[in-house]
C-alpha cells in the first residue's frame, strides 16, 4: 500500500470535516472493517475535542460506515457475504438503469467535463496517490450519472456507493484494480461519444464487480 500519501495528519475544524477525513481513511484502507475507532486515539491524532469526535462518529454511523456495539464502542462497518451481495445487487440495479436513462447525443461540453475529471483520476493513479484517486473517482461517477438528469437517482447512487467504502477499501490501493478502473472509465466515455447505451450500461455493471468479488474472497479466506 502506498504510504507516502497517507501519513499526513489533518486537523479538522468541525465534526463534518473529521467525518470526511475518517471516511477517506476507510476507503483508502487505512482503517479496516471491524477496526475499533477509539475516541482518545482520534482526539490525539486530529487534535479534536471529545464532543467533535463523538459527533463525527455519529455522522459516519448515519452514512453507514460505522457501527456501534453495546459496551464496546464504534467500529468500521463490516459486512457479511449476504449483505455485500445484497448491496451490490442494488447498486447494479440503480447504476445500470441510471446509465440507460442518459439521452443521446450528450452535449460536447458535458463530455469534456467528464474527460477532464478522468484526466485527474489518471494523474492520481500514475502518481500512486490513493486519496486523490478516490476523490477523482467519486467526481467522475457523480459527473457521469448526473447526465441522466435524475437528481433522486443520482443521490441514491451516491448514498449506496458511500456505504460500500469499507468494501472498496480492499481494492482501492492496488495498481491492477486502479488501472482496470481507468480503462473502464475511458470505455464509458467512448460509449457516450459513440452513443452506445448498451456498452455504457454493461461497462457500469462490470465496473462494480472487482470490489465486490475481492471483499467476498477476503471473507472466504478468513473463514477457512
**Largest Cα span, the chain:** 56
Per-residue pLDDT of the chain (224 residues; tens, 9 = 90+): 333 333 334 555 555 689 999 999 999 888 888 999 999 999 999 999 999 999 999 999 999 999 999 888 999 999 999 999 999 999 999 999 999 999 999 999 999 999 999 999 999 999 999 899 999 999 999 999 999 999 999 999 999 999 999 899 888 888 999 999 999 999 999 999 999 999 999 999 999 999 999 999 999 988 77
Secondary structure of the chain in HEC code, one letter for each residue: CCCCCCCCCCCCCCHHHHHHHHHHHHHCCCCCCCCEECHHHHHHHHCCCHHHHHHHHHHHHHCCCEEEECCCEEEECCCCHHHHHHHHHHHHHHHHHHHHHCCCCCCHHHHHHHHHHHHHHHHHHHCCCHHHHHHHHHHHHHHHHHCCCCHHHHHHHHHHHHHCHHHHCCCCCCHHHHHHHHHHHHHHHHHHHHCCHHHHHHHHHHHCHHHHHHHHHHHHHHHC
pLDDT at 98: 98
Residue spans per domain, the chain: 15-76, 81-223
pTM: predicted TM-score of the whole model, two decimal places: 0.86
Considering the domain delimited by 15-76, tell me its CATH architecture.
Orthogonal Bundle (1.10)
The whole-number pLDDT of residue 172 equals 83
CATH top-level class of 81-223: mainly alpha
Amino acid at each position: 500500500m502506498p504510504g507516502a500519501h497517507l501519513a499526513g495528519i489533518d486537523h479538522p475544524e468541525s465534526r463534518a470535516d473529521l467525518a470526511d477525513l475518517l471516511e477517506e481513511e476507510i476507503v483508502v484502507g487505512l482503517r479496516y472493517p471491524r477496526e475499533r475507532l477509539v475516541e482518545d486515539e482520534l482526539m490525539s491524532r486530529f487534535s479534536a475535542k471529545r464532543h467533535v469526535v463523538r459527533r463525527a462518529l455519529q455522522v459516519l454511523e448515519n452514512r453507514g460506515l460505522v457501527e456501534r456495539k453495546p459496551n464496546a464502542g464504534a467500529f468500521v462497518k463490516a459486512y457479511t457475504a449476504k449483505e455485500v451481495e445484497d448491496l451490490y445487487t442494488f447498486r447494479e440495479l440503480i447504476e445500470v438503469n441510471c446509465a440507460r436513462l442518459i439521452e443521446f447525443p450528450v452535449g460536447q461540453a458535458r463530455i469534456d467535463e467528464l474527460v477532464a475529471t478522468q484526466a485527474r483520476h489518471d494523474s492520481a493513479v500514475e502518481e500512486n496517490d490513493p486519496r486523490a484517486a478516490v476523490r477523482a473517482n467519486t467526481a467522475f461517477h457523480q459527473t457521469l450519472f448526473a447526465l441522466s438528469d435524475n437528481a433522486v437517482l443520482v443521490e441514491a447512487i451516491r448514498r449506496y456507493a458511500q456505504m460500500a467504502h469499507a468494501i472498496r477499501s480492499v481494492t482501492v490501493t492496488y495498481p491492477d484494480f486502479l488501472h482496470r478502473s481507468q480503462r473502464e472509465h475511458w470505455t464509458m466515455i467512448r460509449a457516450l461519444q459513440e452513443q452506445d447505451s448498451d456498452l455504457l450500461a454493461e461497462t457500469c455493471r462490470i465496473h462494480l464487480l472487482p470490489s465486490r468479488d475481492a471483499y467476498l474472497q477476503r471473507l472466504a479466506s478468513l473463514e477457512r
